[in-house]
Structure 1
Amino acid sequence: MALEIERRFLVRSDAWRSSAGPGQALRQGYLAASAEGVTVRMRLRGMKEAWLTLKAAADAVGLIRHEFEYPIPVADAEALWDLAPHRLEKVRHQLDCPGGDWVVDCFQGENAPLVLAEVELASAQVDLVIPPWCGQEITGESRWSNAVLSQHPIQAWPLEDRCRFGWV
């Protein structure tokens, strides 16, 4: 069974850019989501690659999830994008950082100017060195999941919440 072990952080500065590769445009359409955290998503990377992904919680804290990902034809993904009731767009940067596979996602549209960092780990017991540009850890906080952000983008959050994070 495929498992994803991932920690997530708000990003508090642009210092990550010195370790970043070129950005990759991603479009994600959420076809189904349950209150229990099961999601079905299609993802397009540019106009060249596409996947269908199913995710479900595998622990109580949100660190470990079941993840099943299947390549699909780009034309099918475009059709699913049109059918998806909830969508988001972002630019993903791969990072050259120790401790795991780090990425930074710069959200666009109604989720701009949100910037999140994620690190995929080989084990939940890894002693992770968190880079200084990472801010608050948001692992397991559903409000920050891509599926929830596609339904409740940060530009629709109460003004007080947006001000607290400096997005106004």
Structure 2
Amino acid sequence: MIEIERKFLVTSDAFIAEANQSYPIKQGFLNTDPGRTVRIRIKGTKAFITVKGKGNTSGTTRFEWEKPIEIVEAESLLLLCEPGTIEKVRYEIAIANHIFEVDVFKGDNIGLILAEIELTNENETFHKPNWLGQEVTGDPKYYNSQLARHPFLKW
């Protein structure tokens, strides 16, 4: 239930040709408090409720608990969420022993493309593809919960 991940800006759409799969994501937040974010997500044909805790100093590690729920439940819960919905298309790209998840945002966050990689420890090394840009791990403005409240187009 501990998530270790790093997040990067993406500099080109070259990742699309490398993608194994893609699917739409719609999500909202029942709570955006950094100490206990509660997210409702519809990911393709599946739905989830997720609770995330506050990140460590570097922003790479934090508590995450996620459970599948029925899509009809997620749709009802999305109606109860705080203002601001995240819509994006996620691409999964396998590189060596890792999967990069690249999110191409839509709506009020159009123009933003972020890549995340989950690691087994904070010091784990990984191959950085040429489309990977500046690291933004730990920068709260790139958290989905904050993008819902303060979208990219309003920066």
Q: TM-score range by the shorter chain?
A: over 0.9
Which secondary structure state, in structure 2, belongs to the residue aligned with residue 96 of structure 1? strand
State the partner residue of 1:19: 18
Correspondent of 2:39 among 38, 41, 60: 41
CA RMSD of aligned residues (A): 1.2
Q: Which runs of 5+ in 2 are unaligned?
A: none
Once the 2 structures are TM-superposed, how far is the Cα of residue 58 of structure 1 from its aligned partner? 4.4
Looking at CA atoms only, which structure, 1 or 2, has the larger radius of gyration?
1
C-alpha separation in 2, matches of 1:17 and 1:73: 29
C-alpha separation in 2, matches of 1:12 and 1:72: 34
Of stretches 147-156 and 57-66 in structure 1, the one that deviates more from structure 2 is 57-66
Q: How do residues 19-98 of structure 1 correspond to structure 2 at under 5 angstroms? A: 19-34=18-33, 36-46=34-44, 48-85=45-82, 86-98=84-96
Moved over 6 A (4+): none
Which secondary structure state, in structure 2, belongs to the residue aligned with residue 84 of structure 1? coil
Q: Give TM-score scaled by structure 2 length.
A: 0.94
Higher relative contact order by CA 8 Å / sep ≥ 6: 1 or 2? 2
State the partner residue of 2:101: 103
Is this contact kept in 1: 2:92–2:100, CA < 8 A?
yes
C-alpha separation in 2, matches of 1:62 and 1:38: 14
Once the 2 structures are TM-superposed, how far is the Cα of residue 140 of structure 1 from its aligned partner? 0.4
Q: Give TM-score scaled by structure 1 length.
A: 0.87
